[in-house]
Amino acid sequence: MTDAHEHVFDDRTPGVEEHEPSASYLSYTVGLGLAILATIASFVVSQTNLLWPPGIPVGLIVLAFAQIGVHLVFFLQLGSGPDSTNNILALAFGMLIVFLVITGSIWIIANLNSNMTSMSMQ
């Protein structure tokens, strides 16, 4: 960055609001429609035999991830634009931590439980 550029951007310090956000009513409405579809699908899948019964938990998890994706893109407006780059990197790191905490806990406790057979047999 040269001095010339500093001069050009002199009045563009943080705090200058130079553009309107690109979100639209339509984007929220599309998101709402998709989210409602995913929600209804989740409830239907859990209450019927539409899916092969042992596959229901997996189906529910897939639907939950789909709905979270819809929320991120259409409600939180996380897109591919330059404004979202840092937010998506932070989100990726957050998801890594969430994944480690949840699967790590389930894995460790499952191991612990399977080594406690004398207790669970009663």
Binding another protein (rule: CB under 8 A), the pick from 3, 102, 111, 116 is 102
Give the nearest distance from C-beta 68 to another protein in angstroms. Answer: 5
d(CA 105, CA 110): 8
CA distances 68 to 14, 79, 83, 95, 99, Å, are 31, 14, 20, 12, 15
As a residue count, the chain comes to 122
Binding another protein (rule: CB under 8 A), the pick from 18, 52, 115, 122 is 18
57 interacts with another protein by CB under 8 A: yes
Give the nearest distance from C-beta 118 to another protein in angstroms. Answer: 17
Structure-token pair, residue 94? 């957050």
Give the nearest distance from C-beta 117 to another protein in angstroms. Answer: 15
116 interacts with another protein by CB under 8 A: no
87 interacts with another protein by CB under 8 A: yes
Coil, strand or helix: which one is 122? coil
